[in-house]
Amino acid sequence: MKGQKHRGHVARKRFGQNFLVAPGIIRKIVDAVAPQAGDTLVEIGPGLGAITGPLLECMDHLHVVEIDRDLIQRLANRFPPERMTIHEGDALEFDFARLKADGPLKIVGNLPYNISSALLFHLLAFAPLVHDMHFMLQKEVVDRMVAEPGSKDFGRLSVMLQYHYHMERLFIVPPDAFSPAPKVDSAIVRMIPIDSAEVMRSGIQQDEADGAAVQDLALFANVVKAAFSQRRKMLRNTLREFIGEADLAALGITPTVRAEDIAVADYVRLANTLADRKPG
């Protein structure tokens, strides 16, 4: 079946194309991003330029990362290169550090839903270079990102992102703000790296909750992944390969609770205890 056309472009499902068509919502997004003339701003997936145009009204220059060649051609026709640098390709492979010389990065995007979690994990590596990020995502994903321990939405995404960012759900966007309309509600989330200035100066990751820094990020990620691999199971089972029941209890973590019941700071303490034990 042929896809739905918007301004002469057939929306491509495989690229998660749902174009924003509601001027009021576009204005609210641009106001939330609050671009300033000299900012280094990158838009992921500019599409037909619904947010791009209004953003560029406030600034001298913008970077965009877009995968769809037809859309790139249209963007290149509409915006001159001195106003917009187009990075053609997959945002999941884009090296955002290429732009760091221009200053702390502001990143914005009405993200393709099919790659949103993968993209959030890809962006973690660049958190120290980021000033702030504003994304449109499925509301359900945003709810998981900002969820508190003890809730059913609290999961791997919550722990990994909350360790790196302050996050705030700004507002909900209904399906009729897009063409074609998605089946679900969307939401705008603001993400600000925790202590980005400090992280940039020292290369150390700070955890706000108790001031502790994760010593080994890969180990931290593995522990969190294992804990949530079977979220109905108790931590003494899911973390068996990492730590015994008595040692869990010694850390103040009840071995019979589940992954969703302990806080980000508990995962940090857990991972750091394991890092201390590692030989060498």
- Return residues touching ligand SAM (CB under 6 A): 15-20, 44-48, 50-51, 65-68, 71, 90-92, 110, 112, 115
95 in helix, strand or coil?
coil
Among all chains, which residue has been given the structure tokens 């508990």?
266
Minimum CB separation of residue 112 from ligand SAM in Å reads 4
Q: Which is nearer to ligand SAM, 16 or 193 (CB)?
A: 16
Q: Which is nearer to ligand SAM, 115 or 214 (CB)?
A: 115
Q: Which is nearer to ligand SAM, 98 or 240 (CB)?
A: 98
Minimum CB separation of residue 23 from ligand SAM in Å reads 12
187 in helix, strand or coil?
strand
Minimum CB separation of residue 66 from ligand SAM in Å reads 5
- Strands 5-6 vs 19-20: parallel, antiparallel or unpaired: unpaired
Q: For the purposes of burial, counting CB atoms within 10 Å of the CB of 57, is it exposed (0-12), middle (13-18) or buried (19 or more)?
A: exposed
| Residues ≥6 apart with Cβ < 8 Å to 80 | none
Considering just the CA atoms, what is the radius of gyration of the chain in Å?
21
Q: For the purposes of burial, counting CB atoms within 10 Å of the CB of 31, is it exposed (0-12), middle (13-18) or buried (19 or more)?
A: exposed
Q: Which is nearer to ligand SAM, 45 or 193 (CB)?
A: 45
Q: At what angle do helices 264-277 and 217-229 cross, to 10 degrees?
A: 120
Q: Which is nearer to ligand SAM, 44 or 161 (CB)?
A: 44
Q: Which is nearer to ligand SAM, 29 or 161 (CB)?
A: 29
- Strands 84-88 vs 105-110: parallel, antiparallel or unpaired: unpaired
Minimum CB separation of residue 166 from ligand SAM in Å reads 24
Minimum CB separation of residue 58 from ligand SAM in Å reads 16
Minimum CB separation of residue 71 from ligand SAM in Å reads 5
Minimum CB separation of residue 70 from ligand SAM in Å reads 9
Q: Which is nearer to ligand SAM, 11 or 223 (CB)?
A: 11
* Rounded CA separation 88/37 (Å): 24
Comparing every residue's Cβ against ligand SAM, the nearest one is: 45
Which H or E run contains 120? helix 116-124
279 in helix, strand or coil?
coil
CA distances from 118 to 5, 112, 141, 273 (A): 28, 11, 12, 28
